Chains A and B, each alone.
Chain A
Amino acid sequence: MADAALAAAAAGVTDMADKDVKIGAALAAATCSLLGTATPGVSMAADAEPKWDIESAFLYYGESDDRVKDLSLSAHATRDFGDERTLGLDLSVDSLTGASPSGAIATDGVQTFTSPSGRKTYSTPAGEIPLDESFLDTRFALNGSWSQPLARLYTVSAGLGFSSEYDYQHIGANFGLTRDFNQRNTTLSAALAYGQDTVKPVGGLPLPLTQMGDAVDDAMSPANRGDSNDTKDVLDVLLGVTQVLGRHTVLRVNLSYSDSSGYLTDPYKILSVVDPVTGDLIGRTPAPGASGPTGVYLYESRPDSRRKEGLYAEMRHDFGGKVLQVGYRYSTDDWEVDSHTLESRLRLPFGSSSYLEPHVRYYQQTAASFYRYSLANVAPLPEFASADARLSDMDALTFGLKYGHVNAGGNEWNARLEFYQQSAKAPNEVLIGNQVGNTQMPDFDAVILQIGYHFKL
């Protein structure tokens, strides 16, 4: 039903003038049917000014050392149907290229690996962190949402989302309810989102903690692969309070809970198996006539559930037209990844229609309980292990500056340039022998450039 309403809304873009009322009615009906309530007496007031508000942007994200690059085009459109009824549409296209760390450690010699497809091999020079260079993807994402008053002081919203990559698909739905109190100075909100993702890695799902085998031709299946795809379900719950603190200050506090279950492993990540005393990679010889790994590498294994809890607080304060925004997030989960994020923006208007907005963000996390720099070659193996640096101790810093200019038509051009620097550290207790004091982590710098145009139709 909601799908039909969204399709109707998309059609309405080209022929808005006379279809607005119909679309509004269709969306209201769709929302009400989702909510299981009767359609309220929605006013079809002709005096409601139809209005699209569209933010569009081009984004370039590029990491140092020819790692991941992303070119992205996005649009976020909201359509006001009057009576506080709004439609939101988000469209995004990403094109990703580059190389991504595989999880294997750097060694003194050249290392050869079998690619994720199981058909080819690639090599990493001595002393360098192994990067899987077959990282290439295009992602499409579409989200639609509808929001409207439910009764006096209540607002309800519902949304659907979809995204697709060649090896990954996501569908999701969300539902939210807000209630105003205290002359609308206090708003309580509750929201629920459910998503189901399907992972279909190239070459099939590797069996956890089994060895990377030699490359094989198209007639054969790569070694140690299981099913072609698996799923993961994610349930998110968000409870929030927004409070006006004064004429110049507003505060929001959110509590969040997230439950993921299913296939949470990264099918492209591996671990190096090392000597339990020296910490050096265990060598391997490919079968006669075959090409394949020159070391012992195991596919990673993560638990099939993860529960996260978080606290998020954000404040905006105006002082004489300048706006200071400060945000803090604390997150903790049963993988033992605890994180703190502190973020601030300061919007500085100048001239009659321009502003500059410096931005700084600091992020810090602890390692997951099953994070390993490498795996010691001793039995039994741990049940879960991952060498993904994103699950190690880490901190990251972002500095950025945004410039915006509102033109004579009331539309805004803006550009922002940001620098992101990430530094990971393997906890000492996971280091073995010679690795102590000699770790190489896949740290990187990235540049983010965004050019945007915000306009109304």
Chain B
Amino acid sequence: MHKLILLAIVCVSLEGCASLGVEPWEREVLAREDMQLDANALDTAFDDHIYFSKEGTSGGRGFGGGGCGCN
């Protein structure tokens, strides 16, 4: 059931994508470093590592956090 809902969300999102977006000359703000989704990679890596060690679930954003025998 969850999978179907997720699939529906993705399909609807993709459908709408064609009409979304900006022209190449409208990317001034989007090109800024603080608008990059992968900005602050180190903060993210630390957080993933801490929460991986202390909570029951991990991942989702990327592959970060694993590879640790944290107890």
CA A254 to CA B50, docked complex, whole Å = 21
Q: Which residue of B lies closest to A241 (CB)?
A: B13
User: Across the interface, which residues of B come within 8 angstroms of A137, CB to CB?
Assistant: 69
Question: Contacting B45 at CB < 8 Å: which of A56, A90, A139, A186?
Answer: A90
Within 8 A of B (CB), among A235-251: 236, 238, 241-248, 250
CA A247 to CA B24, docked complex, whole Å = 10
Question: Contacting A318 at CB < 8 Å: which of B29, B45, B68, B71?
Answer: B29
Question: Contacting B59 at CB < 8 Å: which of A310, A365, A448?
Answer: A310
- Asked whether any CB of chain B lies closer than 8 Å to the CB of A85, the reply is no
Query: Is A365 within 8 A of B55, CB to CB?
Result: yes
User: Across the interface, which residues of A come within 8 angstroms of B57, CB to CB?
Assistant: 308, 310, 331, 333, 337, 339, 365
User: Across the interface, which residues of B come within 8 angstroms of A165, CB to CB?
Assistant: 68-69
Query: Is A363 within 8 A of B51, CB to CB?
Result: yes
Task: Kindly state the interface size class of chain B when it binds its partner.
Answer: 35 or more
Given known A-B contacts A76-B41, A183-B21, A250-B30, A195 and B56 have beta carbons under 8 A apart: no
CA A339 to CA B57, docked complex, whole Å = 7
Interface of A is mostly: strand
CA A57 to CA B43, docked complex, whole Å = 9
Given known A-B contacts A241-B10, A258-B59, A329-B61, A74 and B20 have beta carbons under 8 A apart: no
- Asked whether any CB of chain B lies closer than 8 Å to the CB of A55, the reply is yes
**Contact mask for chain B residues 32-64; partner A; CB cutoff 8 A; 1 contact, 0 none:** 101101001111011000110011110111110
**Contact mask for chain A residues 70-91; partner B; CB cutoff 8 A; 1 contact, 0 none:** 0010111000000000000010
Query: Is B60 within 8 A of A331, CB to CB?
Result: yes
CA A323 to CA B42, docked complex, whole Å = 19
Query: Is B18 within 8 A of A323, CB to CB?
Result: no
Given known A-B contacts A247-B26, A339-B56, A266 and B71 have beta carbons under 8 A apart: yes
Query: Is B56 within 8 A of A100, CB to CB?
Result: no
Interface residues of A, count at CB 8 A: 89
CA A248 to CA B3, docked complex, whole Å = 31
Query: Is A450 within 8 A of B13, CB to CB?
Result: no
Given known A-B contacts A316-B37, A391-B56, A244 and B45 have beta carbons under 8 A apart: no
Question: Nearest-CB distance from B59 to chain A (Å)?
Answer: 6
CA A329 to CA B66, docked complex, whole Å = 17
Q: Which residue of A lies closest to B36 (CB)?
A: A316
- Asked whether any CB of chain B lies closer than 8 Å to the CB of A255, the reply is yes
Q: Which residue of B lies closest to A174 (CB)?
A: B63
Question: Nearest-CB distance from A279 to chain B (Å)?
Answer: 24
CA A246 to CA B43, docked complex, whole Å = 27
User: Across the interface, which residues of B come within 8 angstroms of A247, CB to CB?
Assistant: 22, 26-30
Given known A-B contacts A163-B68, A195-B67, A311-B6, A390 and B29 have beta carbons under 8 A apart: no
User: Across the interface, which residues of B come within 8 angstroms of A337, CB to CB?
Assistant: 56-57
Within 8 A of B (CB), among A86-120: 90, 92, 100
CA A163 to CA B69, docked complex, whole Å = 10
- Asked whether any CB of chain B lies closer than 8 Å to the CB of A314, the reply is yes
Question: Which residues in B have some Cβ–Cβ distance to A below 8 Å?
Answer: 2-3, 6, 9-10, 13-14, 17-18, 20-24, 26-30, 32, 34-35, 37, 40-43, 45-46, 50-51, 54-57, 59-63, 66-69, 71
Identify 19 residue pairs between A and B in the complex whose beta-carbon atoms are under 8 Å apart, listed by A's number. A55-B42, A57-B42, A57-B43, A57-B46, A163-B67, A167-B69, A172-B67, A182-B17, A186-B18, A241-B10, A241-B14, A247-B28, A252-B37, A312-B60, A314-B37, A339-B55, A339-B57, A363-B55, A390-B55
Given A74-B46, A390-B56, 18 more contacts at CB 8 Å?
A139-B68, A183-B23, A199-B69, A238-B62, A244-B22, A244-B30, A247-B27, A250-B35, A253-B13, A254-B60, A269-B71, A309-B3, A311-B9, A312-B60, A339-B56, A365-B56, A368-B56, A452-B42
